């Protein structure tokens, strides 16, 4: 009977590892939520019951990333479950996040500039991210109806997340000529630039008390690095291969560099206590592409490795109640290039 159950679990593709099987001591009851394609940037609703995320799953008829609303309970029990698409299905989307009412999601989309998927970044031997100038930030209800457009300034506006207090949004914009952090009220008013250092400032999240931000940043130093960064940005590109984790107050004051690890340190999120940060890094890797989750104290001490399964683990987020961690990983993808969403109980 035990063998039959194990074979059945493998067949349906749900990964639920026991404590004896897993080396990842902070993660218990790891469960796979998506199956196929690239699924990333999953973020909890304020009531802990749902996840918004982006996917390009070809089985769902997608040509590039679109935004979905996922019921965690349903996805945990049914591998054939298809979540509700919230974006329009036009253009490319990124970086979704729930509003406090749990009935609306903000996300960035290029659909107003062009309804077709924009071209992928041309790598030319380098790993590059595209910074699409057509990205603007929208609010949609859970049925996919756009109820408001929050940004309409020329240039890249994306990577928006919401304060736990429900009063502010932080996002990344190129409107001032560089990739800087901006904040605005929950209704889109009072948009303010809060970072000014040359380099890519992005992927920002609020602390549990809503008073601080954590984000990833590149800081080109040499003449060659600065020249390359500016030239790439003019082409709508950024090379995310050298980034560190920073924190600051919501108004941009008290800016601090938390990590000094080298290589790519990104996708940071505060732990429920607000005293630590969980993030993804390849600083340990000899090959470059080996991203694991780590935690670190906000003062830069106490680095601890959290994952060691598979070669890609990123986009960690704690549930508002602090009990769960969701993240993206290429574990259990059976040799494909698929990246899926996983949820686990968090053990301190």
pTM for this entry:
0.92
Q: In the prediction, which pLDDT does 16 show? A: 46
Alpha carbon distance 184, 187 (integer Å): 8
**Percent helix, strand and coil across the chain, each rounded to 5?**
10, 40, 50
CB contact at 8 A, 60 and 38: no
Which residues, at least 6 apart from 301, have a Cβ–Cβ distance to it below 8 Å? none
Alpha carbon distance 146, 151 (integer Å): 13
Model confidence pLDDT, tens digit, residues 308-321: 999 999 999 999 99
Alpha carbon distance 190, 28 (integer Å): 42
| Nearest one of 236, 255, 240 to 181, comparing CA atoms | 255
Q: Which residue has the tokens 């457009």?
A: 149
Q: In the prediction, which pLDDT does 288 show? A: 66
Q: In the prediction, which pLDDT does 299 show? A: 98
DSSP 83: P
Model confidence pLDDT, tens digit, residues 220-264: 999 999 999 999 999 999 999 999 999 999 999 999 999 999 999
Is beta strand 50-55 parallel, antiparallel or unpaired with respect to 66-71?
antiparallel
- The number of angstroms, rounded, from the C-alpha of 312 to the middle of its chain's C-alpha atoms is 13
Q: In the prediction, which pLDDT does 287 show? A: 75
Q: What is the spatial order of strands in the sheet that 50-55 belongs to?
A: 39-44, 50-55, 66-71, 84-85
Residue ranges of the chain whose pLDDT lies below 70: 1-22, 123, 288
**Domains of the chain with bracketed CATH:** 41-346 (2.120.10.30)
Q: In angstroms, what CA-CA distances link 280 with 267, 305, 311, 316?
A: 6, 10, 11, 8
């Amino acid at each position: 009977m035990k063998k039959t159950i194990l074979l059945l679990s493998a067949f349906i593709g749900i990964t639920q590892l026991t404590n004896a099987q897993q080396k990842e001591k902070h993660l218990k009851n790891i469960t796979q939520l998506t199956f196929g394609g690239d699924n990333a940037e999953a973020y909890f609703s304020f009531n802990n019951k749902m996840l918004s995320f982006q996917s390009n799953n070809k089985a769902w008829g997608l040509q590039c990333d679109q935004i979905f609303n996922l019921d965690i309970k349903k996805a945990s029990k049914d591998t054939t479950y298809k979540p509700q698409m919230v974006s329009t299905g036009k253009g490319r989307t990124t970086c979704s996040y729930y509003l406090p009412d749990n009935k609306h999601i903000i996300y960035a989309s290029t659909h107003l500039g062009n309804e077709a998927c924009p071209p992928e970044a041309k790598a030319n031997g380098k790993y590059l991210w595209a910074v699409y100038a057509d990205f603007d930030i929208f609010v949609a209800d859970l049925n996919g109806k756009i109820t408001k457009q929050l940004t309409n300034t020329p240039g890249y506006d994306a990577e928006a997340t919401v304060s736990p207090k429900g009063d502010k949004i932080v996002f990344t914009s190129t409107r001032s000529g560089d990739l800087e952090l901006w904040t605005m009220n929950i209704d889109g008013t009072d948009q303010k630039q809060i970072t000014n250092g040359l380099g890519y400032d992005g992927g920002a999240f609020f602390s549990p008390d809503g008073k601080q931000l954590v984000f990833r940043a590149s800081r080109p130093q040499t003449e060659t690095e600065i020249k390359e960064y500016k030239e790439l940005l003019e082409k709508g590109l950024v090379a995310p291969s050298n980034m560190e984790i920073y924190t600051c107050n919501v108004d941009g004051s008290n800016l601090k560099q938390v990590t000094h690890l080298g290589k790519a340190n990104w996708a940071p999120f505060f732990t429920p206590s607000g005293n630590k940060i969980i993030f993804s890094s390849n600083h340990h890797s000899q090959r470059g592409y080996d991203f694991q989750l780590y935690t670190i104290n906000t003062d830069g001490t106490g680095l601890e490795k959290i994952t060691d399964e598979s070669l890609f683990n990123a986009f960690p987020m704690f549930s508002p109640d602090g009990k769960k961690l969701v993240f993206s990983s290429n574990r259990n993808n059976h040799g494909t290039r698929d990246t899926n969403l996983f949820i686990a109980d968090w053990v301190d």
